[in-house]
Amino acid sequence: MDLAVIAAFTAAGLSLVNVAISARMASRGQREQWRRDQERPVVARCLTLSANAAGEWWDASVAKQDADAAAPRSQMDAHWEKGRQHLDELRFEVAQLDLLASPAVRATAASLVSEHQRETSRLIMRVKPGQDDFEGRRASQVKIEELHKALVECARADLGLGLPAQPRSLLGKLLAWPGQ
Contact 61/87 with Cβ under 8 angstroms?
A: no
Burial class of residue 141, CB neighbours in 10 A (0-12, 13-18, 19+): buried
Give me the pLDDT at residue 52, please: 96
Measured in Å, how far apart are the chain's first and last C-alpha atoms?
Answer: 82
- The whole model's pTM is what? 0.73
C-alpha distances in Å from residue 112, one per residue of 32, 89, 153, 167, 172: 25, 13, 14, 22, 18
Confidence of residue 35 (pLDDT cuts 50, 70, 90): confident
Tens of pLDDT, residues 81-124: 999 999 999 999 999 999 888 899 999 999 999 999 999 999 88
From the number of C-beta atoms within 10 Å of its C-beta (0-12, 13-18, 19+), residue 33 rates as: exposed
What pLDDT is recorded for position 96?
A: 93
